[in-house]
């Protein structure tokens, strides 16, 4: 049985400044680097080992993946670091890219979903919709399950695509997933046939931003 673990990247400059990332490519902050090390410790404490590590092409995810691999002594055969998988890139935020997170409700209401931690915008101009994102997530899962018939793999990615991967794997409603749990920086989720979809987190850490 294949177990797929999903990690969100550490805090980056846009996170710290309350800016909507999307495909923007800012580096980790010192706190984000610390969070990546915390993730690695959490993985080690949980007794996990990975046969492969894949990462989004964006800097914040690649840095996180590299720190985890270096800390845990993971090396990819024939590669200098984690394997980049372009389809793990964050949702395209369209016109909301680079906007302040605090402006979401003003700019996008009523097409929003509010939770205790995040306000999600649903379909501003140019943005991937969540149904589209779930379809991309299904392709990612098909790709990974074709390459790996068993063992464990780690996907280092982002908040919205990470939740969509969870939704696609467990065949859940995307709207429910937005409000079911918070997927914070450097937290770890599990996708597995014998896992409980109502208990998503394998590693949780203290959060300083959303």
For residue 29, the 8-state DSSP code is: P
Q: Give the integer Cα–Cα distance in Å for 54 and 184.
A: 19
∠ Cα 159 178 35 (to 5°)? 30
Q: Domain count of the chain?
A: 1
Distances (CA, A) of 27 to 3, 13, 15, 85, 142: 29, 6, 10, 18, 30
For residue 56, the 8-state DSSP code is: -
Q: What is the mean pLDDT of residues 99-124?
A: 96
Task: Please report, rounded to a whole number, the percentage of residues in the chain having pLDDT higher than 90.
Answer: 87
The answer to whether position 36 is within a domain reads yes
Asked if residues 169 and 5 have their Cβ atoms less than 8 Å apart, the reply is no
The answer to whether position 121 is within a domain reads no
Q: Give the integer Cα–Cα distance in Å for 168 and 163.
A: 9
Asked if residues 125 and 133 have their Cβ atoms less than 8 Å apart, the reply is no
The answer to whether position 69 is within a domain reads yes
Residue 205, pLDDT score: 82
> Per-residue pLDDT for 207 more than 80?
no
Residue 74, pLDDT score: 81
The answer to whether position 106 is within a domain reads no
Condensed to tens digits (0 to 9), the pLDDT of residues 145-176 reads 999 999 999 999 999 999 999 999 999 999 99
- Which of helix, strand or coil describes residue 84? strand
- Comparing CA positions, the residue from 15, 38, 42 lying closest to residue 209 is 15
- Comparing CA positions, the residue from 160, 157, 162, 172 lying closest to residue 113 is 160
Q: What is the mean pLDDT of residues 190-210?
A: 85
Q: Give the integer Cα–Cα distance in Å for 83 and 88.
A: 11
The answer to whether position 86 is within a domain reads yes
Range of the domain at 82: 2-92+129-159+166-203
The answer to whether position 123 is within a domain reads no
- Comparing CA positions, the residue from 196, 194, 141, 156 lying closest to residue 72 is 156
For residue 80, the 8-state DSSP code is: S
The domain spanning residue 58 has which CATH number?
3.40.50.1240
Condensed to tens digits (0 to 9), the pLDDT of residues 55-101 reads 999 999 999 999 999 998 887 665 567 999 999 999 999 999 999 99
Condensed to tens digits (0 to 9), the pLDDT of residues 28-56 reads 999 999 999 999 999 999 999 999 999 99
Q: Give the integer Cα–Cα distance in Å for 25 and 27.
A: 7
Distances (CA, A) of 19 to 11, 88, 93, 174, 193: 12, 20, 12, 24, 36
The answer to whether position 97 is within a domain reads no
Q: Give the integer Cα–Cα distance in Å for 95 and 83.
A: 30
Condensed to tens digits (0 to 9), the pLDDT of residues 138-152 reads 999 999 999 999 999
The answer to whether position 51 is within a domain reads yes
The residue whose two tokens read 């680097």 is 33
């Amino acid at each position: 049985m294949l177990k797929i673990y999903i990690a969100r990247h550490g805090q980056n400059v846009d996170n710290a400044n309350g800016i909507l990332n999307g495909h923007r490519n800012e580096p980790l902050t010192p706190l984000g680097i610390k969070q990546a090390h915390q993730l690695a410790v959490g993985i080690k404490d949980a007794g996990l080992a990975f046969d492969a590590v894949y990462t989004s092409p964006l800097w914040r995810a690649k840095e996180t993946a590299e720190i985890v691999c270096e800390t845990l002594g993971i090396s990819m055969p024939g590669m200098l670091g984690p394997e980049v998988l372009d389809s793990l890139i964050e949702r395209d935020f369209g016109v909301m890219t680079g906007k302040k997170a605090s402006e979401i409700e003003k700019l996008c209401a009523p097409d929003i979903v509010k939770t205790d931690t995040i306000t999600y915008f649903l379909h501003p101009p140019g943005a991937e919709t969540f149904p589209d994102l779930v379809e991309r997530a299904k392709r990612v899962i098909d790709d990974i399950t074709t390459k790996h018939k068993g063992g464990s793999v780690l996907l280092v990615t982002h908040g919205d695509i990470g939740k969509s991967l969870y939704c696609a794997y467990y065949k859940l409603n995307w709207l429910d997933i937005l409000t079911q749990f918070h997927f914070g920086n450097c937290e770890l989720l599990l996708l597995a046939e014998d896992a409980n979809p109502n208990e998503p987190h394998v590693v949780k850490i203290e959060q300083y931003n959303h």
